[in-house]
Amino acid sequence: MVEIIENKDITSFTTFGIPVKARYFAEYSSERELLALSRKEEFLNNEVLHIGGGSNLLFLEDFGGLVLHSAIKGIKEYRKDDETVYAIAGAGEKWTDFVDWCLERNLAGVENLAHIPGEVGASAIQNVGAYGVEAKDVIHVVECFDTQTRKTVRFSNEECRFGYRDSMFKKDDVRGRYYVLRVSFRLRPDGIPMSLDYGPLKSLKERLGKYPTIQEVAREVTNIRKSKLPEPSETGSAGSFFKNPVVPVHFYKKIKNGGFGDVPAYPAGEGVVKLSAAWLIDKAGMKGVRFGGAMVYDRQPLVIVNAGGASGRDVKELSDEIIRRVRTKFYITLKPEVNFIDTGIKITVLGTGGSKGTPELGCECHVCTSDDIRDKRLRSSVLVETAGLRLLIDPSPDFRQQALNLRLADIDAVLVTHSHYDHVGGFDDLRPFCGNENMPIYLRADVNADLHRRLDYCFREHPYPGVPTFKMNVIDNKPFYINGLKIVPVEVMHGKLPIYGYRIGKFAYITDASHISEEEKEKLENLDVLIINSLRDKPHFAHFSFDQAMDMIRDLSPNRAYLTHLCHEAGCHAELESRVPAGVSPAYDGQIILSTR
């Protein structure tokens, strides 16, 4: 019977060399063992993270759930004919061992992927690639364990929906559902290299004086990688930290004509090219820059290394600075190839004011003239950071100032509660965060229709250059996922208007509510942190009053509650603080609240 270990040190299962523990850990070597694990309490009642070789993971803290690792080994060969050989490898096999196995048998197809860290299972999930070849070019079938049906399923190459460093296994609708058991590769027994058309491999034939063998290609790739990338056993890293950005051709030409004629670019489809992230980082002046124990590798700026004693937060802060500087110089947003792993949530309160903010224009009341910085209330909004994502809830009319106050460099997605101006007035100010790709927006159908009318210039077939561009994702009142992060909409009534609040892990944000049904209250059980609106003492037809907010907090019983959407009639912060019971506080602009998923 497979053992579940508590408080397991899993540092050796990662390549950054940053100490990390898992609350629970289990390693399985067969489908039967995995099936047994899927029925255990630790699996059913905790967040579950399935890992491979850990070469694309960055733990920001100890993991508070269950970590699973595949130890399914073995490689089998099936020769279909003189032109095709299928190699079936267990997900727990090291990728480098699998490549060596192929080279020993003169099987062509994976030689360009030599010396890539990780395990076979991850090759299908990540669609690993290097020097003109990707795993998708040779993958035939991926065999998986379905955690919902607890059955073994098989996906063809087409069904895997491979893309650049992407596959269906990373899509929000199935992310985390399937655990790779084995991968079948379609290889060629002729020993002829698959591709010599990328980078330094172009000149290999000329340098050797003959057409290279797959062994010579693999040796060349290995030498190149060793010359550019640190050995994980000597210097902790995750290899390439960022994806190469894919941008429109006109965007590339703008950079090239702006004094950077040497920018490397490769065709990536109709009307788009792939730029070198390493070149962008280098030109942004980040090579060799260090944050704590984390450093941009001096031989390859695409790599962040553990230069000694680095923490996960050091690496994250350095990656944020890289993103900020590249965006400032080139107006391009780099996206990490590495997955950030943490079970904590950081909430930054951007604004706590009502629709007019505080102080109100023309008002001389004691709240509007207060010297207490906590009484300066911009329109209500929060920034939620977890799982490597930055999620903005409501771009208020004050968003520009809020972003400047925070030195905000990146947003991954926007959640919208409703379309009243004090919650969407900052949409146009999102343009710096759109950059080279559309900003994902998650919202109700009625809000989507309203924004299309009010921001029609953003949705035209040929928009004016420079306007913000969005990918509108219409959501129903049911859970959805962003990069695997579960988000639960909570429908509340804003007077007669149904709007959404959102729950992320054990944190929930409710604004502009005047009523929450019993059914929706069930979504708000067992909260650690609740931020909820409390407009003023006097009743309002569309907002909770102070007493109504207190009643709702008592009903929901979160560990901690914070009041927001406060107008000047709510009183000064100090006055509110003196009135609320233990565990309840008035929120204030700039406040940072920590919670958990």
| Residues contacting residue 388 through CB under 8 Å, at least 6 positions apart | 58, 60, 316, 336, 339, 340, 341, 342, 483
Q: Is 317 a catalytic residue?
A: no
Considering the candidates 55, 123, 237, 240, report the single residue annotated as catalytic: 240
Angle at 481 between CA 476 and CA 483, to 5 degrees: 150
What are the two backbone dihedrals, phi and then psi, of residue 551, each rounded to the nearest 5 degrees?
-60, -40
For 128, other C-beta atoms within 10 Å of its C-beta total 24
Is residue 79 within a helix (H) or strand (E), and if so which, with residue range?
Answer: strand 75-79
CA angle 36, 38, 43 (to 5 degrees): 125
- Cis check: omega of the bond before 248, within 30 degrees of 0: no
Q: Which of 38, 119, 165, 324 is catalytic?
A: 165
Q: Are 571 and 367 in contact (CB under 8 A)?
A: yes
Rg of the chain over Cα atoms, rounded to whole angstroms, equals 26
Q: What distance in Å separates the CA atoms of residue 424 and residue 421, rounded to the nearest whole number? A: 5
Distance from C-alpha of 434 to C-alpha of 452, rounded to nearest angstrom = 17
Distance between CA atoms of residues 184 and 89, nearest Å: 6
Question: Cα 194 vs. chain centroid, distance in angstroms?
Answer: 33
DSSP string, 298-361: SS-TTEEEE-SS--HHHHHHHHHHHHHHHHHHHS----BSSEEE-SEEEEEEEE-B-TT-BSPT
> Which of these is catalytic: 337, 360, 385, 520?
337
CA pair distance 346, 373, nearest whole angstrom: 22
Which H or E element spans position 248?
A: strand 246-248
Ramachandran region, residue 328 (left: φ > 0; alpha: ψ -120 to 50; beta: rest): alpha
How far, rounded to the nearest angstrom, does the alpha carbon of residue 290 sit from its chain's CA centroid?
A: 23
585 catalytically annotated? no
The amino acid occupying position 252 is: Y
175 catalytic residue (yes or no): no
- What the block records as the tokens of 11 is 């540092």
Rounded to 10 degrees, the C-alpha dihedral 472/473/476/478 comes to -150
Q: What secondary structure, in 3-state letters, does 480-511 show?
A: EEECCEEEEEEEEEECCEEEEEEEECCEEEEC
Instruction: Give the span between the Cα atoms of 590 and 233, in whole angstroms.
Output: 41
Point out the residues that are catalytic.
165, 240, 337
